Amino acid sequence: MITLTVNGRHHVLDVEPDMMLAWVLRDKLGLRGTHVCCGAGICGACTVHVDGDAQRSCSVAVKDVEGHAITTIEGLGAHGLHPVQQAWIAEDVVQCGYCQSGFIMAAAAFLAATPKPSVADIKNSVTNICRCGTYVRVQKAILRAAGEPEVAL
């Protein structure tokens, strides 16, 4: 049995300890906002927070996050939309949208650690892949969420 805390709720689950977190979230807890894309920890589509840090849940075994606080896209805006989500909406960022939950989670963790980032900080630190190429608006949304919407790009 694995005990997990996800979005503030406790779950006791009969799953293999080596099962990767993304599949547990999606198929055991029904949290389908987290998407698996590369399945190898490269692209970041499955990013969730573990104790506030961005982690690629396709490559984190569930046994390794027992006792840690996990937050998914569904729990990000616990009290309404998170500022990163508000910025995402204001900049109309998404296209196909499949990678965007992970992108938003990565951006939220990044901004929590780096509240006033430079453009170079963003480029060096947020490494998610978006095949649609929404990066121009992603960058704008991150700056907007940081309260720096006028930074020249």
Partner 1 sequence: MNIARRGFLQTTAAALILGFDGAGEIVRAAYAPDVVGPQLFGIWLSIGSDNVITMVSPEVEYGQGTITANAMLVADELDADWEKVAIVQSDANPVYTNPKSYRLSTDGSWGMRGRFEQMRRIGAVTRMLMVQAAANDWGVATGECSTGASFVHHSASGRSASYGSLASAASKLQLPAPGSVVLRTPEQWRLIGTPMPRVDIVQKSTGQARYGVDVVVPGMLSAAFSRCPVLGGIAKSFDDSKVKSRKGVRHVVNVGYGVAVLADDPWTARKGAEDLVVIWDNGPAAKISSATIAQDYTDALANQPGVVAKKLGDVTASGATKTIDVEYTVPFLAHMCTEPTNATAWVHDGMCEFWTATAAMGSVVKYTGYLLDLPAEKIIIHRTPFVGGSFGLRGRVDPELEAAQLSSIVHAPVQVVRRREEDTQHGWYRPYQKSKITAGLDASDTIVSWHEKVAVQSINGQYADELIPFGVDIARVNADIKASAAFFRLPVDFYATSGTPFSDSYKIPNLFVEWVKMENPVRPTHWRSVGISGNAFITEGTIDELAELAGMDALAFRRAQLIKLPRFVAVIDALAEKAGWPAQNAAAQGWGMALGDGFVSCSAAAVKVAVKGKTITLERVVCVCDQGITVNPEQTEAQIQSGIIDGLATALFGEITLTNGQIDQSNFNDYRIFTLAELPRIEIVLLPSSEPPGSITEIITPMLIPALANAVAAATGQRYRELPLSRHGFDI
Sheet containing strand 2-6, strands side by side: 9-13, 2-6, 69-71, 47-50, 53-56
Q: Could you say whether residue 60 binds partner 1 (CB under 8 A)?
A: no
The interface region with partner 1, picked from 1-9, 49-57, 63-71, 136-144 by CB under 8 A, is 136-144
Question: Cβ closer to partner 1: 12 or 14?
Answer: 14
Q: What is the CA radius of gyration of the chain?
A: 15
Question: Cβ closer to partner 1: 99 or 109?
Answer: 99
Question: Cβ closer to partner 1: 10 or 18?
Answer: 18
Q: Could you say whether residue 39 binds partner 1 (CB under 8 A)?
A: yes
The residue within the footprint of partner 1, chosen from 50, 64, 135, 151 (CB under 8 A), is 135
Q: Which two tokens stand for residue 106?
A: 């990565």
Residue 92 C-alpha from the chain's centroid: 18
Distance CA 145, CA 41 (A): 26
The residue with tokens 């099962």 is 19
Q: Could you say whether residue 19 binds partner 1 (CB under 8 A)?
A: yes
Nearest alpha carbon to residue 74 among 43, 114, 27, 29: 29
- The interface with partner 1 within residues 63-102 (CB under 8 A) comprises 72-74, 77, 81, 85, 88-89, 92-101
Q: Could you say whether residue 9 binds partner 1 (CB under 8 A)?
A: no
Query: Crossing angle for the helix pair 100-113 and 83-90, nearest 10 degrees?
Result: 120
Name the residues that contact partner 1, by CB under 8 A: 16, 19-20, 23, 26-28, 31-40, 42-43, 45, 72-74, 77, 81, 85, 88-89, 92-101, 104, 122-124, 126-139, 153
